[in-house]
Each structure stands twice: as structure tokens, then as C-alpha cells.
Amino acid sequence: MNALNPHATSFPLQLAAEEIPLTGVEKAAVLFLCIGEERGSVMMKKMARSEIQAVIQAMSRLGTIPASTVENVIREFSRTVSGGAGVEGSVQIAERMLSGFMSDDAISDIMGDLRAPTHGQNVWDAFAAVNEQTIANWLMGEHDQTVAAILSRMKPTVSARVLPLFGAERMAEIATRMIGLGTLSRHVIDNLEQVIVSDFLSAATRKSTVDPQQRMADMFNKMDGSVFESLSSDLEDRVPQELDQIRKKMFTFDDMVKLESASLQRIMRMAEGNTLALALRGAKSEIRSAFMSALTQRMREMLEMEMKEMGPVRARESREAQATLIDITNDLVRQDIIRLPSTEDEMV
């Protein structure tokens, strides 16, 4: 049975499914999926571009929607879907619907970053999340035209960091090709994404192995200090050598002040909302001072005002904020953007 056919009356296997809460635009996407690609194309012709993009984005991430949810969203279709017919949304269905009234270039533009998700994350987002030097190293052996095509599809902020790593002469050649590139066809984009997933992202995934000791270190990092001290005294009797190795991998909030000033500033800029203020509100006075000294006078005054207006906070909330800053630090380390201090960095 075709799940897109509103006139279907039977389904070989009915599965009980929990009700799925949907937003308004997701409900609109369900309607388009129910009426089918041909009628959906006709309706989209009458919509504004921003409305089309919102519906297409919702449609591409819907996945399988059970019949019970469809019935609640579109009650006038209850008789045609009561036999158990759900709907399923995907990038491919969304593209076919757009193909009813749009050119390939227009489809490529409006679908943009929705194509070819990998492990729930867009290919280009996953690619851009990698350190720029790693990206440049992978692209070094590629033809300049290929490099130009890939950089043109990446976020400008990322491309701007990658391009200079090719050296002045090759950078100029690649930039020239990017300027004259024009709009890439869907076929070329699909090929680029396939190569990135198969040759780069999958290889990076295979190389990443789980370190049990690092996992324990990460857990201990987020544990209350007094709890960890109590636990570690027991572990020293049970597994002293293993605990010593784990301690070497631990990076606590207090250790952040040992980072280079530029690295610490980057981490603080990446903290969202009141995370930084919350973290410092529960920090030791000397640690708080070290953080403040890395800020400009204006930023320091603003942060002090925010902390003053915040008043007393729960210790648990402060520890959670500190753990968030540690997570940001570890993410940047994994991307080779910053490095953690080592004993070799200590002054003697």
C-alpha cells in the first residue's frame, strides 16, 4: 500500500503507536503528505518561498507518522486513514514534490542543507565541525576544481579558515575557480556529499574509539568534588594504578585557568545565556579572578553585574554550568582547535 495514497483502505499490519506531538508547520507537512505529490505540488505553487521552505524542512524530518496522529491532525481525512494508513516524510519525498513545479537549480537552492543527513546530522554541518587543518589536509591531494566546489558548499566562516591553508598561490587559483563556479547541479552535489561521507566522515568515525578510562574521567569531572574525593579514597585501595591513569586524563573546571588566555576567551565566548555567570558564581575566588583577568574591562564589568543581579544560586546549578564549560573545552580539544595544558607546560 502507498502511504501517500489517501484512498487506500487496507494495510497488511497495524502497529500500535504512541501519539506524536507536532508543531503547526509539521501538521501542514502531514497534510501535504496525505494529499500526495501531484496535489501537493499544485498547492505549493500558491505559497510564498519562505512558507515552502518551512514545510519542506518539516517534511524532511518527519519520519514515520502513525495513523492515530494523522487522524488527529486532519480529522476530515479520518475515514480514509482509519484503516491504519500512516504517512512518512523524507528528503526524497520532499524533492519529488518540488519537482512538480520547480527547476533543478531552484530545488537545489531551497533544499540546501537538508540533503543527505548522516547520523541525524547534515553532511555539510558534520564536515564543517571538523578542524580546518584536518579538512585542508584531506583536500590537499584533490584537484583545485574539486576543492573549489566543496568550499563553495561550506559555510563561509569555515571556508574562510580553510582556504588560506593551501598557500598563497593555490589559494588564489581555488578562489578564482570558486568565483567562476556558478550553481552546482544536483548530481554534482550528490556526488560531493557521497565522497565526503564515504571517504572522510566514515573514516573519521572508524578512527574514533571509545577510551573507557577517558569515559570515567569525563564522568568524574562532572561529579561533585566531595563525592569524588570520597569515592577516590576507596578506589585507591581497589584499583590504584587504574585510578592514577584516570586522574591523568581528568580535566576539571579549576584546570581551565591553566589554558592559554586566547583559548579561555574562546570558551567563554561560546558559553550560552547565563552559563558563564552561573559557573563562576560557584567557583573559588582565585579561579573566578583568573577567568575575569582573561576578559576585557567592559566584558568583566558586564559579567560582574550579571553575577551580582543573579544573587544566590544552587550549588548544583553552578556545577552543571561548570560541566557545560568543560564539555565546550573538550569539544574544542577534539577538533584540535585548542589544547589542554600538560606538565611539560609548567614553568620551572
Within-domain flag for 96: yes
Sequence-distant (6+) residues with CB within 8 A of 233 are: none
Tell me, yes or no, whether 151 and 271 share the same domain.
Answer: no
pLDDT of 201: 65
* Number of CB atoms found within 10 A of residue 256's CB: 25
Residue 223 is given by DSSP the state: S
Domain boundary among 207, 228, 250: 207
Whether 153 is covered by a domain: the verdict is yes
Domain that includes residue 168, residue range: 121-207
**Number of domains making up the chain:** 3
Write down the pLDDT at residue 332: 84
Question: Does one domain contain both 59 and 107?
Answer: yes
Task: Supply the pLDDT for residue 283.
Answer: 92
Q: Looking at the structure, tell me whether residues 221 and 326 fall in a common domain.
A: yes
**pTM for the whole structure:** 0.39
Asked if residue 264 lies in contact with residue 326, where contact means CB atoms within 8 angstroms, the answer is: no
If asked whether residues 130 and 228 sit together in one domain, one would say no
Residues 6 or more apart whose Cβ sits within 8 Å of residue 142 = 150
pLDDT at residue 118, rounded to an integer: 43
The predicted pLDDT at position 305 comes to: 92
CATH code, 231: 1.10.220.30
Per the domain annotation, does 129 fall within a domain? yes
The torsion angles phi and psi of 63, rounded to 5 degrees, stand at 70, -155
Q: Do both 201 and 218 map to the same domain?
A: no
Residue at a domain's end among 62, 91, 114? 114
The 10 Å Cβ neighbour count of residue 284 is 12
Grid coordinates belonging to 220: 568524574
Helix (H) or strand (E) holding 121: strand 121-122
Domain contains 3? no
Domain identity same for 79 and 130: no
Question: Given the DSSP bridges, would you call strands 63-65 and 87-89 parallel, antiparallel or unpaired?
Answer: antiparallel
* Burial letters 89-110, b for 16+ CB under 10 A, else e: bbbebbbbbbeeebeeeebbeb
What are the backbone dihedrals phi and psi of residue 90, each rounded to the nearest 5 degrees, phi first?
-160, 170
Q: What is the pLDDT of residue 19?
A: 53
Residues 331 and 245 in one domain: yes
- Residue 274: the pLDDT is 92
Residue 6 placed within a domain: no
Final residue belonging to a domain, choices 114, 133, 154: 114
pLDDT at position 55 is 79
Q: Is residue 17 part of a domain?
A: no
In the prediction, which pLDDT does 159 show?
85
Q: Are residues 46 and 134 in the same domain?
A: no
**Same structural domain, 168 and 218:** no
Would you state the pLDDT for residue 34? 78
Which residues of the chain fall below pLDDT 70? 1-21, 60-64, 74-122, 186, 201-211, 342-348
